[in-house]
Structure 1
Amino acid sequence: MDDEMQTKLIQQGQEDDSDLKRRIWVESKKIWRVALPGIIARVCAFGTIVVTQSFIGHISETDLAGYALVQALSVRFVNGILLGMSSATETLCGQAFGAGQNHMMGIYLQRSWIVDLITLTILLPVFIFGTQIFKLVGEEESIANSGGYISLWFIPFVYNFVFSLTIQMYLQAQSKNMIIAWISIFQFTIHIPLSLLFIYKLNMGLSGAMLALSFSSWFLVIGEFIYIFGGWCPHSWKGFTVAAFKDLLPVVKLSISSGVMVCLELWYNAFLVLLAGYMEDAEVAIAAFSICLNINVWELMINLGFLGSACVRVANELGRGNAKAVKFTIKVLLGTSITIGLFFFILCLTFGKKLAYLFTSDVRVADAISDLSFLLSFSVLLNSVYPVLSGVAVGAGMQGAVAVVNFVCYYLIGIPLGALLGYTTTLEVKGIWIGLIGGVITQTITIIYLIWRTDWDDQVKKASERLGRFYLKLNEDPYEISNES
């Protein structure tokens, strides 16, 4: 009898293991269906910015510092607001798709366009008065003048964010974002020859580099418009409608809480770049710190794919009312993301200094980057955890709580620690980066605790209430402009 019982227990254990492997495999396929196109799209989109920086780095060290300043401060400031506000689209579209309210997704998308367009237009002085702003915060005059000129060139570029960010979130909520991956690959592919043409063939230098950046970024948006308006989203896009102007206030509220959450995260790096600008050799410090940040953020684009996947999977399952599936999704996401993070951690440790010469020919900047290589590697490893946790928070609509966590961990811990170590010790730029890591570690630990303590059954109820507030029946929503028109 004991042998029979033991055999049965072994068989049951094998069946449980087999069932667990099958569930992990099924969930992994769902995750990668959203994550892979998101990773490709984000890597390519950010890649165009990094490639432009690389070209400018071989034109002038002052312009490289100016570009780094604009990209790290102005663009990240505006992009943070728009990305954060657009994540409201991610929450609403993901939960609507899970609840079967497909026709509402097109309305949420249009509402986001309205809110984001108005917001970006209000923020334009950040680019128009770039020189004055950089001088006001104490940057060197030559860097401030270069940054002010580059800021004006960034204006046509940043308007693509209004559409590219929201459309990607709208499509990935329906697992239809593979099209964005293909368009993004083509965008990145044409960006390099465009840059070579404008910079060297037409002898346009810095202006040519910025012109190529704007052209390639808008190619992505035009491709997305063709896909949506061309009838490839028949269930979620019913045409333009006046319903997009209704109930804007609740969307604005959710967008603001989303915006604050993401902004506090993205601006954190910007403040640290600003600290680097007050170092004794500002050009080298800003260039080295910014290049390391760009390498860090480029790898982060992979994990932002998992952020998008986390948001979609959590939002979809909450929309369906399945709290158990949410918990299982979080475990599989973290396991996958950390495995990839370990791979890049080893890669950065191995090729730290060699990466520097892709972005600059200045030996001083390359040496400064080499000194930061270990800290950069550790940051890359942390990238595999906190974006996934942020995605879980966005999918559940918990942006407000995470915004508070980001503020405390980044601005009351990370930045003061970076300033203290950077200016009162011999660590300098290394000290600033240690502060960066300190803020990220405390944020990660806090959000892990927050998610661990979350009652997911209660989150299911909140998702249902949220969708109920915004819901319009299809026959109550008169579309005034059809796709045919």
Structure 2
Amino acid sequence: MDIEVLQEHPIMEEKPLRIWKKAMYFPYRKQIANKWWEEFKKVWHIAGPAIITSVSVFSLDFITAAFVGQLGDVELAAVSEVQNVLLGFITGIMLGLGSALETLCGQAVGAGEFNMLGIYLQRSWIISMVTALLLTPAYVNASRILKLLHQDPKISDLAGKFAIWTIPEIFASALNYPTEKFLQAQSKVWFMAFSTMLTLVIHVLLNWIFVTKLGMGLVGAAISGNISFWILTVVKIIYIVCGWFPEAWTGFSYLAFKSLTKFLKLSISSAVMLCLEVWYYTAVILIVGGLKDAAIAIDSISICMNLQVWTLMVALGFSISASVLCLSYLAVLATASAEGLPKTAALPTKVEVRSVYTLPSPDPTVWDFTGVRVSNELGAGNPKAAKFTVGVNVLISAILGVFFAVIILATKNQFPRMFSKEQHVISETSKLSYILALTIFISSIQPVLHGVAIGAGWQFLVAIVNFGCYYGLGLPIGALLGYKFNLGVQGVWSAMLGGSLLQTIILFVIIGRTNWHKEALQAEARVRRWGGSVETQLGS
């Protein structure tokens, strides 16, 4: 899919709001709007299914929590501990192992070696399934592990029971994550979107049958999750092996067992930084689980964390489409203004500067359109356009953050009822609504800043910032406020929010002090060093 990249032009130095004001009086508004709509449809061909996939997959656990929450506060706390501690721990590993496949499949597609895709997929299946087998004892002994981590004994016992029943889901995930990367590498995003939506509908129906109608409680919720994840996985595997990929899938091969050691090393290195991101939330739940009235504390913070992540994915999706919408519109405006067209002239058709990129992962923690925009602009030698892209995306994301924060505050006494009917849980969750609203606002901006850093090639620097803010500041201060100063779950989350706020400020400072002209030159040098070539015309 080709995506427009902004032309270098002095208008990019102006503030976004001022340009929007000028655009409203531009004589070719109607023609610009038509071009804008065409580009909007092109981008949503990729952005739409990726958003649907991300939201649908996350909503599987979201739905489970909503049904279990109606059983009681202890049951919800038990499921939350399994989802956020055990499953969170394993998900970090599985996603990390899968990210190695993403790299290799992307390179294979770029090199035209489609026959290697099936081999890479099978190697990843082998490693992931062995990993799932090695991690199974953690689920079998979940109750003992949680008690060793000073979690509430009653919650730990229920969590252990639920964890044992969810063991089949581990192996479904072990096959599912590599399969997703295989499909992503070949841009089969619409199939992924439809399959996840279908699974989500089935998951709601299964929970209604097993949890509500048959009254099977936690066991019913676990069975529903197992069936749903296996349906999702099997549908994708059937799609792959039944002849839809004649070049990429040529059948099972003994070559899958070759070079497993090298593949494993790449998988482990890919998993490390992703695990640090995912396990941060695991650590937060563990800290909260040791507080007084642990069931209420875990319930309230898990409800808020679920809503935060869900709104983050929705906001990210709207940010992607709105960013492209805005930037495509301004690209046409800038070009038309630069050419000094008379009022009777038609809009220029040569505005496009095309740049092709590989579709990234739909996972919201890594899938950010801003990074693509910035890397495209720097690679094309357009430092001013890259800077302008940052400003517009931050503005749009901030507006979306305010929108969701206002909704949370307006419904602070209603949204907790989606997950629990216990009045003390509803009351405690409502008290967290102000912190949740501020967290959602900051989280809406963070993906843009992360995307800028990735687009500019600052991954290692961001990893250091993340580690320092989360593990060096957020968790220690959270434990101190929660236990020493008896501020409970509000103290823990306030520190978590403080770490995120500090991270956002640091990234703002780094980006604000960046010499974009220099970054564009460095991007050109990297492309040349990697064997490519670019022609740039850098502004002074």
TM-score (norm 1): 0.80
Which residue of structure 2 lines up, in the alignment, with residue 269 of structure 1? 281
Residue-by-residue CA offset, 1:392-444 (whole Å, 9 max, x unaligned): 77789976654443322211011112122323445321111111122223334
Partner Cα distance (1:330, 1:129) in 2: 50
Task: Name 1:93's counterpart in structure 2.
Answer: 105
What corresponds to 2:303 in structure 1? 291
The reply to whether residue 435 of structure 1 matches residue 463 of structure 2 is: no
With over 3 angstroms needed to count, the CA separation of the structure-2 counterparts of 1:447 and 1:30, relative to structure 1, is: farther
Q: Which residue of 2 aligns with 1:56?
A: 68
Change (3 A) 1:305 1:266: closer
CA drift at 1:92: 3.4
Equivalent pairs counted in the alignment come to 453
Show the counterpart of 2:152.
140
Query: SS where residue 357 of structure 1 aligns?
Result: helix
Structure 2 match to 1:419? 479
Alignment match, 1:207: 219
2:94–2:128 Cα contact (<8 Å) kept? yes
Q: Partners of 1:419 and 1:170 in 2: how far apart?
A: 41
Trace 1:225-374 onto structure 2 (pairs within 5 A). Answer: 225-302=237-314, 303=316, 307=365, 309-310=367-368, 314=372, 331=390, 338-374=398-434
Residue in structure 2 matching 1:383, options 419, 443, 455: 443
CA 1:413–1:20 in 2, change beyond 3 Å: closer, same or farther? farther
Q: Is the 8 A contact 1:261 1:402 kept in 2?
A: no
Structure 2 portions without partners, runs of 5+: 1-25, 317-361, 533-540
Task: Using the TM superposition, name which of 42-51 and 395-404 deviates more.
Answer: 395-404
2:232 is equivalent to residue 220 of structure 1: yes
**2: distance between equivalents of 1:389 and 1:96?**
30
Q: Cα distance, 1:121 vs. partner?
A: 2.1
Counterpart contact for 1:421–1:431, Cα < 8 Å? yes
For the pair shown, the structure with the greater C-alpha radius of gyration is: 2
Please report how far the alpha carbon of residue 270 of structure 1 lies from its aligned counterpart in structure 2 after TM superposition.
Answer: 1.4
Moved more, 438-447 or 118-127: 438-447
1: distance between equivalents of 2:126 and 2:459? Answer: 21
Alpha-carbon separation, structure 1, partners of 2:478 and 2:126: 38
CA–CA distance in 2 between the matches of 1:89 and 1:329? 34
Please report how far the alpha carbon of residue 88 of structure 1 lies from its aligned counterpart in structure 2 after TM superposition: 2.4
What is the distance in 2 between the residues matched to 1:334 and 1:102? Answer: 38
SS of the equivalent of 1:112 reads helix
Deviation at 1:241, TM superposition (A): 3.5
Could you tell me whether the CA contact under 8 Å between 1:198 and 1:209 is conserved in 2?
A: yes
Relative to structure 1, is the Cα distance of residues 146 and 337 closer, same or farther in structure 2, using a 3 angstrom cutoff? same
AA of the residue aligned to 2:209: L
1:268 shift after superposition: 0.9
Cα distance change on mapping 1:29 and 1:409 into 2, 3 Å: farther
Q: Equivalents in 1 of 2:61, 2:167: separation in Å?
A: 14
Identify if the C-alpha distance between structure 1 residues 187 and 203 changes in structure 2 by more than 3 Å, giving closer, same or farther. same
Paired residue type of 1:109: L
Change (3 A) 1:382 1:312: closer
User: C-alpha separation between the residues in 2 aligned to 1:227 and 1:438?
Assistant: 45
Cα distance in structure 1, aligned partners of 2:365 and 2:446: 9
2:59 corresponds to which residue?
Answer: 47
Q: RMSD of the alignment, in Å?
A: 3.8
8 Å CA contact 1:33–1:175 kept in 2: the answer is: no
Partner of 1:457: 524
Distance in 2 (CA, whole Å) between partners of 1:98 and 1:335 is 34
Q: What corresponds to 2:195 in structure 1?
A: 183
Task: Give the Cα–Cα distance (whole angstroms) in 2 for the partners of residues 34 and 461 of structure 1.
Answer: 29
Distance 1:235 1:46, change over 3 A: same
Q: Alpha carbons of 1:428 and 1:307: their partners in 2 closer, same or farther (altered >3 Å)?
A: closer
1:40-89: CA deviation from partner (whole Å, max 9, x where unpaired): 12222221212111221222322211111111111101101111222223
Larger CA deviation: 294-303 vs 331-340: 331-340
* 1:338-375: CA deviation from partner (whole Å, max 9, x where unpaired): 55444323322322331100000011111111111121
Give the secondary-structure state (helix, strand or coil) at the position aligned to 1:352.
Answer: coil
Specify the code of the residue in structure 2 equivalent to 1:143. Answer: I
Contact 2:371 2:451 in 1 (8 A): no
Contact 1:172 1:312 in 2 (8 A): no
* C-alpha distance 175-311 of structure 1, shift in aligned 2 (>3 A): farther
> Of 466, 469, 482, which residue of structure 2 is paired with 1:406?
466
**Secondary structure in structure 2 of the residue aligned to 1:203:** coil
Change (3 A) 1:373 1:423: same
Name whichever of 331-340 and 321-330 sits farther off: 321-330
What is the aligned-residue identity percentage?
38
CA contact (8 A) 1:87 1:394 kept: no
> Are the aligned partners of 2:68 and 2:218 in contact in 1 as well (CA < 8 Å)?
yes
Q: 1:340 to 1:165 in 2, by over 3 A?
A: farther
> Is there any run of 5+ residues in structure 1 with no aligned partner, and where?
1-13, 466-485
Distance in 1, Cα, partners of 2:462 & 2:39: 26
More helix by share: 1
Equivalent residue for 1:33?
45
Aligned residue identity for 2:438: F
Aligned mate of 1:80, from 84, 92, 98 = 92
Give TM-score scaled by structure 2 length.
Answer: 0.73
Give the AA of the match of 1:275: I
Displacement of 1:138: 0.9
